[in-house]
Amino acid sequence: MADLYPVPQDWAKRARVNAEKYTQLYGRSLADPGSFWLEQARRLDWIKRPEIAGDWSFREEDFRITWFVDGRLNASANCIDRHLKTRPDQVAILWEPDEPGEEARRFTYRQLHAEVCRFANVLKAQGVQKGDRVTIYMPMIPEAAFAILACARIGAIHSVVFGGFSPEALAGRIQDCDSKIIVTADEGRRGGKRVPLKANVDASAAHASSLQKVIVVRATGGDVAMQDGRDVWYHEAARDVEADCPPEPMGAEDPLFILYTSGSTGKPKGVLHTTGGYLVWVSLTHELVFDYKPGTIYWCAADIGWVTGHSYILYGPLANGATTVMFEGVPNWPTPSRIWEVIDRHGIEILYTAPTALRALMREGDEYVKRTSRGSLKLLGTVGEPINPEAWRWYHDVVGGGRCPIVDTWWQTETGGALIAPLPGATDLKPGSATRPLPGVDPQIVDAEGEVLTGAAEGNLVIAKSWPGQMRTVWGDHGRFFQTYFTTYPGKYFTGDGARRDEDGYYWITGRVDDVLNVSGHRMGTAEVESALVLHAKVAEAAVVGMPHDIKGQGIYAYVTLNSGEEPSDALRKDLVAWVRTEIGPIASPDVIQFAPGLPKTRSGKIMRRILRKIAEGDISNLGDTSTLADPGVVDDLVANRAA
């Protein structure tokens, strides 16, 4: 067992949970979930404390998932108001701007309360009511947090759309949840560049007929067009509203937010999370996994537009009375030292980031790290994709100076918060393994037939029992929710991931087993990229697969068949890449486009992706059985014209 990093002794002594306590907590959580979860629910402030814990079934005949259903609470009151008694003057949100020379902004819990109340009153004044969907399309500025928490305060359902998504992608997400109002900014800033958010909203409006109001936060002062009767400057509207806004009492199962994520079909799913279970889950997991003690300066370097930003920049940390850092910029601007400089500047103790960022910074050499102190760091975390052991060791040895445990947290938009992750005071670490399940999580490895494999095994990862942070439905399509997650292995939640469990019971996530790509930790459905490509006037057909990529983890490899009469060219290749960027956003840019006169299809017309994946990976010696193809000849052409 050479590659084992035992729990450091001081961690075992000081942490909230040591190995013995973990075993006991985990055991109780599965043996007596009712009392375990009602006890855990006490970590929140309830208007009415629940007496019912989980009530769920993953079977078709009585399919249901509820947690704490008789409880009442408000998420924003839990993240703000209850800290006003204990830590009103502690910094809640510490904002680091894109420009390194610019001053950081700090909001204490008292100030956060005032800002969120004001934002909530502006939303109300614009007609937003409990249950309405509010789209939030914002840069990483404090107002994004205020808008999110303001929705929670008045019981509106927020749907945050990542600021890097295109007008088309934004329109689809506004329309799908029938959102009448959007909160945006004039522009965003990232790595010294401007992002035209308001102009993107204007462009999306033509395809989003539900949209009636646009609230615009002035962030850069850039010039934007304002449409009379539709567009409202936030700073103007905020002048006319009252300073206080009492939190709306919500049922535990009332929706808190929708977040769109890619699945294996073309249309992103609106993942719905509710209030009580989600908040219990993110608060508990944030406390356990980061061994969080209130006041510790903590930085989750995700974007607020992804679930990691929702759960571990905002809801989890704020529920726990944290000082949470929000960073407007990017890791490699103006230099690859930026992250480490921000850590030194603010005395950050916990850093939570993605393997893709680490790989990109690792490539620049150790000098950029070593010229900074990082003496404040105590704990490191990763999320978003499997971390390769090499990047893990670099993070541990170079970034953390060998002192800081790494918590590799496996989870999904659907799971609300981490499900498999080490606890720094309890779990010996193995580089590349997310280690063991958190309390209440019952993972299983099943084979293709659904047979549960025991002991050391590799197969598909399912979760056998509900946990409070589980998504409750796909917005507007409950049938799709059941169909997507509970029919592959009846009675179990199917994650879409493959995993291996070793002889010590440690889990090693091997990646997606469905048609979902993970590009730089961002989920992308192959079908979404394909639909974008075939919208192009010259494209007849497209098939997209993942390919190994040093920095991004996975890159996008697209096979494109042109309409007859159209000629392949480098110019067209560039045009298609630009096309996908405008249709979806820069994160979906294909890395490779191979023009293909034909795609390998079965006689029933199904594209054989297995073959396309192998060619993209360059593994052409072993293409497997091609005899079932309608025209085996196309494979020779694909191999001969490999583009990578």
Alpha-carbon distance 263 to 266, whole Å? 7
Alpha-carbon distance 280 to 563, whole Å? 53
Instruction: Find out whether 190 is annotated in a ligand binding site.
Output: yes
| DSSP class per residue in 322-335 | -EEEEE-S-TTSS-
Instruction: Let me know the angle formed at the C-alpha of 151 by 149 and 153, rounded to the nearest 5 degrees.
Output: 70
Residues near 480 by beta carbon (within 8 Å), at least 6 away in sequence: 269, 474
Looking at the DSSP bridge assignments, the partners of residue 518 are 523
Alpha-carbon distance 416 to 536, whole Å? 36
* Cα 214 → chain centroid: 25
Per CB under 6 A, does 409 bind ligand 6R9? Answer: yes
Q: How far is the CB of 363 from ligand 6R9 (least distance, A)?
A: 20
Helix runs in 503-627, H state only: 526-534, 570-583, 609-617
Q: How far is the CB of 417 from ligand 6R9 (least distance, A)?
A: 9
Residue 386 or residue 600: which is nearer to ligand 6R9 going by CB? 386
What totals of helices (H) and strands (E) does the chain contain, helices first? 22, 31
Q: Which of 394, 411, 493, 579 binds ligand 6R9 (CB under 6 A)?
A: 411
Per CB under 6 A, does 497 bind ligand 6R9? Answer: yes
Instruction: Find out whether 88 is annotated in a ligand binding site.
Output: no
Alpha-carbon distance 100 to 93, whole Å? 18
Biggest distance spanned by C-alpha atoms of the chain: 73
Per CB under 6 A, does 308 bind ligand 6R9? Answer: yes
Q: How far is the CB of 411 from ligand 6R9 (least distance, A)?
A: 5
Residues 42 and 225: beta-carbon distance below 8 Å: no
Q: How far is the CB of 523 from ligand 6R9 (least distance, A)?
A: 4
Per CB under 6 A, does 523 bind ligand 6R9? Answer: yes
Instruction: Find out whether 72 is annotated in a ligand binding site.
Output: no
Instruction: Let me know the angle formed at the C-alpha of 566 by 560 and 569, rounded to the nearest 5 degrees.
Output: 70
Site mask for ligand 6R9 (CB under 6 A), range 179-218, x = bound: ----------------------------------------
Binding range to ligand 6R9, per CB under 6 A, among 53-61, 300-308, 541-549, 622-630: 300-308
454's tokens: 């025991």
Q: Which of 434, 545, 556, 596 binds ligand 6R9 (CB under 6 A)?
A: 434
3-class secondary-structure state, position 377: coil
Distance in angstroms between the alpha carbons of the first and the last residue of the chain: 38
The footprint of ligand 6R9 on this chain (CB under 6 A) covers a number of residues equal to: 23
Residue 381 or residue 425: which is nearer to ligand 6R9 going by CB? 381
Residue 69 or residue 463: which is nearer to ligand 6R9 going by CB? 463
Binding range to ligand 6R9, per CB under 6 A, among 77-85, 116-124, 234-242, 408-416: 408-416
Residue 488 or residue 495: which is nearer to ligand 6R9 going by CB? 495
Site mask for ligand 6R9 (CB under 6 A), range 225-264, x = bound: ------------------------------------x---
Q: How far is the CB of 100 from ligand 6R9 (least distance, A)?
A: 28
Instruction: Find out whether 193 is annotated in a ligand binding site.
Output: yes
Residue 202 or residue 515: which is nearer to ligand 6R9 going by CB? 515
In this structure, the number of other CB atoms found within 10 A of the CB of residue 512 comes to: 18
3-state DSSP of 5-36: ECCCHHHHHHCCCCHHHHHHHHHHHHHCHHHH
Residue 337 or residue 518: which is nearer to ligand 6R9 going by CB? 518
Residue 270 or residue 386: which is nearer to ligand 6R9 going by CB? 386
Q: Which of 251, 263, 496, 590 binds ligand 6R9 (CB under 6 A)?
A: 496
Alpha-carbon distance 180 to 211, whole Å? 4
In this structure, the number of other CB atoms found within 10 A of the CB of residue 236 comes to: 11
Residue 311 or residue 337: which is nearer to ligand 6R9 going by CB? 311
Residue 121 or residue 356: which is nearer to ligand 6R9 going by CB? 356
Alpha-carbon distance 423 to 408, whole Å? 10
Alpha-carbon distance 558 to 643, whole Å? 10
Instruction: Find out whether 324 is annotated in a ligand binding site.
Output: no
Alpha-carbon distance 391 to 394, whole Å? 5
Per CB under 6 A, does 408 bind ligand 6R9? Answer: yes
Q: Which of 298, 327, 410, 579 binds ligand 6R9 (CB under 6 A)?
A: 410
Site mask for ligand 6R9 (CB under 6 A), range 364-403, x = bound: -------------------xxxx-----------------
Per CB under 6 A, does 509 bind ligand 6R9? Answer: yes
Residues 78 and 44: beta-carbon distance below 8 Å: yes
Handedness of CA 297, 407, 152, 321 (dihedral sign): negative
Amino acid letter at 84? L
Instruction: Find out whether 622 is annotated in a ligand binding site.
Output: no
Q: How far is the CB of 493 from ligand 6R9 (least distance, A)?
A: 12
Residues 442 and 255: beta-carbon distance below 8 Å: no
Binding range to ligand 6R9, per CB under 6 A, among 48-56, 67-75, 134-142, 489-497: 489-497
Residue 232 or residue 391: which is nearer to ligand 6R9 going by CB? 391
Residue 180 or residue 480: which is nearer to ligand 6R9 going by CB? 480
Handedness of CA 598, 602, 605, 609 (dihedral sign): negative
Binding range to ligand 6R9, per CB under 6 A, among 57-65, 371-379, 494-502, 624-632: 494-502
606's tokens: 């199904």
45's tokens: 């402030």
Per CB under 6 A, does 305 bind ligand 6R9? Answer: no
Angle subtended by helix axes 609-617 and 633-640, to nearest 10: 20
Instruction: Find out whether 536 is annotated in a ligand binding site.
Output: yes
Per CB under 6 A, does 413 bind ligand 6R9? Answer: yes
3-state helix vs strand vs coil in the chain, percent to 5: 35, 25, 40
203's tokens: 């462009």
3-class secondary-structure state, position 412: coil
Tokens 């459905």 belong to: 525
Q: Which of 189, 512, 609, 614 binds ligand 6R9 (CB under 6 A)?
A: 512
Instruction: Find out whether 581 is annotated in a ligand binding site.
Output: yes
Q: How far is the CB of 471 from ligand 6R9 (least distance, A)?
A: 10
Q: How far is the CB of 53 from ligand 6R9 (least distance, A)?
A: 25
Residues making contact with ligand 6R9 (CB under 6 A): 261, 306-308, 383-386, 408-413, 434, 495-497, 509, 511-512, 518, 523
Binding residues for Mg(2+): 534, 536, 539
Which residues define the annotated binding site? 190-193, 308, 332, 384-386, 408-413, 497, 512, 520, 523, 534, 536, 539, 581
User: Binding site membership for ATP: which residues?
Assistant: 384-386, 408-413, 497, 512, 523
